[in-house]
Amino acid sequence: MLGTRGTVKEAPGFNPEQDTENLRKAMKGAGTDEAAIISILPHRTIAQRQQIKEAYKRAIGKELVDELKSELTGNFEKVVIGLLMQAPFYDAYELRNAIKGAGTDEACLIEILASRSSSEIKALTAAYSKEYGRNLEDDICGDTSGMFKRVLVSLRYFSHWFVELTVTCVLQEIYEAGEARWGTDEVKFLTVLCVRNRNHLLKVFQEYQQISGRDIEDSIKREMSGCLEDVFLAIVRCIKSKPGFFAERLHKSMKGLGTTDSILIRVMVSRSEIDMEDIKNEFLKTYGKTLYSFIKGDTSGDYRKILLELCGPEK
């Protein structure tokens, strides 16, 4: 089990052979029964979906993912295929897509690398290497530059080891790196944010506000810009509240004209079994509307239906 605050829980009386049969029926003949697919996959855990994939291969002699790809299209297909991947492989898949081809999706790199734990980063790095025969750090270095590259590489080695320094000492480091000098010492920010214990940093943020008269986030916005500002803000927001960080990502993906489906899909798929309940609570608290209503108003068809199943009902 990935987490205890997800909307996706283990299906009671789980029978992978029965699910295989129902999925086969859903794809047999002319047309596809999307409703049958929606009734199964969002209601099984990642571990249970792996068992369905194995049962399908045994019974039908074909890969379930390949069969679904040939039947489905668009954003609905992206959600379904994402659900069938194990978490580290899904992260690796998203990172690979963010890096390869023309241009880089920096927001995706920031979101994944700033929000995953050290063990999750270790697992996704191994998955990346296994799946693509490439080194994640080399690919990040080849696709980004300057201080932004250094921060991303540091996040690759992100760990919660605790440097025994007093809050005052760390505070001094951050304050001197930013507010108290002309120009910004990003390396110091990086050292403090990437290798400090979370509880320790929360105290530092609190005291920083008292000393400087402004929130650490405001200082980052004043001192930095572009991708560097985005990555430091993401690190701070994840330290303060990971569900709050993802609620903001979801809101950003749907507000205004059009929807950034890649963000919406990635967050809904990757957090549904970890902390989606907490993300929903943060979303309501911050934006005054339920995540469910936002998704319902911003998407349509089977894509909307499967996302709403992952979201879980309004309370």
- Distance of alpha carbon 91 from alpha carbon 42, whole angstroms: 18
Tens of pLDDT, residues 41-60: 999 999 999 999 999 999 99
> pLDDT per residue over 103-122, tens digit each?
789 999 999 999 998 889 99
Residue listed under structure tokens 């954003």: 75
User: For position 204, what pLDDT does the model report?
Assistant: 80
Q: Both tokens of residue 96?
A: 């690979």
pTM: 0.89
A 10 A CB-CB count for 304 gives 16
63/54 Cα distance (integer angstroms) = 8
- CA–CA distance, 129 with 132 (Å, rounded to integer): 6
Mean pLDDT of the chain: 87
- Give percent of the chain with pLDDT exceeding 70: 86
